[in-house]
Structure 1
Amino acid sequence: MAVALTKETFNESVQNGVALVDFWAPWCGPCKMQLPIVEELSTELEGKATIAKINVDEQPELASQFGVMSIPTLILFKDGQPVDKMVGVQSKDALKNKIQGQL
């Protein structure tokens, strides 16, 4: 299951290895389409990469920090640094390929 992050847990969760973070909100239609894909990846890549989500309504500081203007936005981190940013619904294969390219 994807980990729900807050500003308190964010740095610890992305500082080591590869992490995919989904910036979303419960009222966002495209986010509802993206969420099952993110959850599937979290199961498939367990132990290899961190798959996380951030509710932008509850964590506006994090959304602002990473320049998230529209959702869903998915940001791929490697050892705490953003290496890729995708806006809009992404296919499972596209996300998996990007994650595996950083492992």
Structure 2
Amino acid sequence: MAKPAVVSDNTFQQEVINASNEQPVLVDFWATWCGPCKMLSPTLEQIADEKIGKLKVVKMDVDDNPEVASKFGILSIPTMILFKNGKPAAQLVGNQPKARILSQIDPLLS
């Protein structure tokens, strides 16, 4: 299974904002102590595998990277934000089933 890349406050601009001009980037905002975040992880790995070449999936630990989390108003985790063309295009909060995640992001993968 593909492991989503890990991004930080320092790499976010390049790895997410700039990269989303080439292909959409799904960011999973999470924390090591968050049970629902851990339950979501295998689902995101499956999506990363299935969408190779169409979608980049990355993870950002909100405890280690408070700057970006604050900038995008992350109050609950897990929160997923899909970035496209340098901007947020969709957002899901909580441990969502794979079908729900795909129903939100698939229309934006073009």
| TM-score, with structure 1 as normaliser | 0.93
Deviation at 1:101, TM superposition (A): 0.8
Where in structure 1 are there 5+ consecutive unaligned residues?
none
| 1:72 is the counterpart of 2:74 | no
1:27 aligned counterpart, secondary structure: coil
Amino acid at match of 1:49: L
Deviation at 1:81, TM superposition (A): 0.2
Equivalence for 1:33 = 39
| TM-superposition CA deviations, 1:71-90 (whole Å, max 9, x none) | 00111111110011111111
Amino acid at match of 1:21: V
- Give the superposed CA RMSD: 1.1
4+ long deviations beyond 6 Å? none
Equivalence for 2:90 = 84
Equivalence for 2:8 = 6
Which of these residues, 48, 57, 61, is aligned with residue 63 of structure 2?
Answer: 57
Query: What CA distance in whole angstroms lies between the structure 2 residues aligned with 1:18 and 1:98?
Result: 13
**Sequence identity, in percent?**
46
Deviation at 1:98, TM superposition (A): 2.1
Name whichever of 4-13 and 64-73 sits farther off. 4-13
Equivalence for 2:28 = 22
| TM-score, with structure 2 as normaliser | 0.87
2:36 aligned counterpart, secondary structure: helix
Name whichever of 64-73 and 38-47 sits farther off. 38-47
